[in-house]
Amino acid sequence: MTVEKTDQAHWAEVAEEWIAWARAPDHDAFWKYGSAFRDFVGNGKGEALDVGCGEGRVSRLLKELGYHVTAADPVARFVEAAQEMDSAHHYEVAAAAALPFEDESFDIVLAFNVLMDIEDVPAAVKEMRRVLKPSGSLIVSIVHPFADRGHFSGPEPDAPFVVPGSYFRRERFEGAEEKNGLKMHFAGWSQPLQDYMAAFTQAGFAITALKEPAPQDPSRWTRIPLFLWLKARPFPSDR
Ligand SMILES: C[S@@+](CC[C@H](N)C(=O)[O-])C[C@H]1O[C@@H](n2cnc3c(N)ncnc32)[C@H](O)[C@@H]1O
C-alpha cells in the first residue's frame, strides 16, 4: 500500500462521519474560527485551489470571497458531497502530491486542516508550489503543533495544559471524539513546527504571515493556540 493510499483509506472509511460532523451547525471549531479565517484570506477574484476540500465548506467560503474555486480531495465521496452543495466551480478527485493541473495555474492554493493528515508533507507542499503562480499565495491552516501534542489535564478553565513525551518527535495519532451524538475518528501525524517549516522552505516558499488565532468567546483555547495559520509566497529565484 502506498503512502497516499494510507491517507485516503482512513478518510474514505470515515467520510460519512466527517460530512455529518462538518455540517452540523456550531459543532466543531470551524464555526468559531471561520469568520477570522475569512478575514485572514480576504476577498479576491483569482483562481483558488482548495486541497483536501472534504465536504466543501472552505471551498464555499472561498467562493463567497469572490474566487473562482477548484475543490480537490482524494476521497471521491467528499468531492461528490462538495458538488452536492455547489461548493466550487470545478472539482477533481486528487491527492495533494499528485494534482492534475498545469504548472502555475492558481493564484491561491489553500490547505485547511489537511497537512496533519498527509504522511509525506514535503511531497504535498512541493506539488502545491508547482501549481501556484509565481505571484500567488499558499494559505495553510494546521492544528497547532503544540496543541496537537498535549491536552488539558482537567475540565476546569484554568486546567494546566500537559505535554506528555516530547514535542519534537514526529508521531502517528489516532483517536475518536464524541460530541452531541456525533462521533468522529481522526488519524494523522503530529510533528513539530520546524518540520512543517522545512517542507515550506525546501519547496521554495517564504512565509509572509503567521497567525495563532484565538476564539472570541471564553474558552481554554484563548490560553493555548488551537490552530496555526500561515501565508507563504514562492521564492522568485527558485524557479
Ligand atoms: C480534517 S478534513 C478537512 C476537510 C476540509 N478542508 C475542511 O476543513 O472542512 C481532512 C481532509 O484531508 C483530506 N486528505 C487526506 N489525505 C489527503 C491527501 N494525501 N491529499 C489531499 N487531501 C487529503 C481528507 O480526505 C479530508 O477531506
Q: Is 8 in the pocket of ligand 1 (CB under 6 A)?
A: yes
Domain assignment of residue 173, given as a range: 3-238
| CATH code assigned at 129 | 3.40.50.150
Give residue 237's pLDDT.
54
Helix (H, G, I), strand (E, B) or coil at 3: helix
CA distance 26 to 10: 25
CA R_g for the chain = 17
Q: Is 188 in the pocket of ligand 1 (CB under 6 A)?
A: no
Give residue 216's pLDDT.
83
Give residue 8's pLDDT.
81
Give residue 91's pLDDT.
98
What cell does 216 get? 472570541
Alpha carbon of 97 to ligand 1 centroid (Å):
12
Q: Whose CA is nearest to atom 16 of ligand 1?
A: 7
pLDDT tens for the chain, 239 residues long, are: 344 446 788 999 999 999 999 999 999 999 999 999 999 999 999 999 999 999 999 999 999 999 999 999 999 999 999 999 999 999 999 999 999 999 999 999 999 999 999 999 999 999 999 999 999 999 999 999 999 999 999 989 899 999 998 999 999 989 999 999 999 999 999 999 999 999 999 999 999 999 999 988 888 999 999 999 999 999 875 44
Give residue 1's pLDDT.
37
Nearest one of 117, 139, 143, 119 to 128, comparing CA atoms: 139
* Total structural domains within the chain: 1
Q: Return phi, psi of residue 125, to 5°.
A: -70, -35
Amino acid symbol at 17:
E
Give residue 223's pLDDT.
94
User: How far are the Cα atoms of 55, 104, 168 from residue 91, in angstroms, in the given order?
Assistant: 12, 18, 37
Helix (H, G, I), strand (E, B) or coil at 220: helix
Alpha carbon of 113 to ligand 1 centroid (Å):
7
Q: How far is CA 59 from the centre of its chain?
A: 12
- Ligand 1 pocket mutation pick from 75, 114, 127 by most atoms within 8 angstroms of CB: 114
Q: Return phi, psi of residue 29, to 5°.
A: -65, -25
Exposed (0-12), middle (13-18) or buried (19+): which is 54, by Cβ within 10 Å? buried
Q: Is 73 in the pocket of ligand 1 (CB under 6 A)?
A: yes
Alpha carbon of 3 to ligand 1 centroid (Å):
14
Give residue 27's pLDDT.
94
Exposed (0-12), middle (13-18) or buried (19+): which is 139, by Cβ within 10 Å? buried
Q: Is 14 in the pocket of ligand 1 (CB under 6 A)?
A: no
